[in-house]
Structure 1
Amino acid sequence: MTKKISDKLSGKRIAVLATDGVEQVELEQPCDALNAAGAEVHLVSLESDPIQGVHHDQKGDTFEVDKTIDEVSAEEYDALVLPGGVFNPDALRVNECAVDFVRDFFKQGKPVAAICHGPWLLVEADVVEGRKVTSWPSVKTDLVNAGAEWVDKQCVCDNGLVTSRNPNDLPAFCRKMVEEFAEGVHEEQTA
Structure 2
Amino acid sequence: MSTQKKAIVFLADGAEEMEFTISVDVLRRAKINVTVVGVSLKNDYATCSRGVKIIPDVKLERNTFKAEDYDALIVPGGAGGAKTLAEHETIQKLVMEFYEKKKIIAFVCAGTLVAKAAGVPHKHKVTSYPAGVREQLVNVYNYSEDRVVVDENVITSRGPGTTFLFALTIVENLIDVETSNTLRKEMLTHENL
1:54 matched to 2:49: yes
1:33 matched to 2:10: no
**Does structure 2 retain, via aligned residues, the 8 Å contact 1:132–1:150?**
yes
Deviations 1:24-47 (A, max 9, x none): 111110101110000110011224
Count of residues in Structure 1 that have an aligned counterpart in Structure 2:
172
Secondary structure of 1:16 counterpart: strand
What's the % identity of the aligned pairs? 29
Q: 2 CA distance for matches of 1:76 and 1:98?
A: 16
RMSD over aligned CA atoms reads 1.9
Offset of 1:128 from its aligned partner? 3.8
Offset of 1:113 from its aligned partner? 1.4
Q: 2:101 aligns with which of 104, 108, 125?
A: 108
User: What runs of 5+ residues in structure 1 fail to find an aligned partner?
Assistant: 1-7, 184-191
Q: 1:177 aligns with which of 164, 170, 192?
A: 170
User: What runs of 5+ residues in structure 2 fail to find an aligned partner?
Assistant: 177-193
Secondary structure of 2:18 counterpart: helix
Matched AA of 1:162? I
Check 1:85–1:167 CA distance in 2 against 1; reply closer, same or farther (3 A cut): same
Q: 2:113 aligns with which of 113, 120, 132?
A: 120
Q: 2:4 aligns with which of 1, 11, 28?
A: 11
90-99 or 66-75, which deviates more: 66-75
68-77 or 89-98, which deviates more: 68-77
Deviations 1:66-92 (A, max 9, x none): 241552122221101110000001011
**Does structure 2 retain, via aligned residues, the 8 Å contact 1:52–1:63?**
no
**Does structure 2 retain, via aligned residues, the 8 Å contact 1:9–1:182?**
no
Check 1:47–1:90 CA distance in 2 against 1; reply closer, same or farther (3 A cut): closer
Q: 1:96 aligns with which of 89, 93, 103?
A: 89
Scaled by the length of structure 1, the TM-score of the pair is 0.83
Secondary structure of 1:91 counterpart: helix
**Does structure 1 retain, via aligned residues, the 8 Å contact 2:147–2:158?**
yes
Q: 2 CA distance for matches of 1:142 and 1:53?
A: 23
1:159 is matched with 152
1:45 is matched with 38
Deviations 1:111-168 (A, max 9, x none): 111100001110011114111110011222222343x111111111111211111111
102-111 or 69-78, which deviates more: 69-78
**Does structure 1 retain, via aligned residues, the 8 Å contact 2:128–2:159?**
yes
Scaled by the length of structure 2, the TM-score of the pair is 0.82
Q: 2 CA distance for matches of 1:76 and 1:51?
A: 25
101-110 or 170-179, which deviates more: 170-179
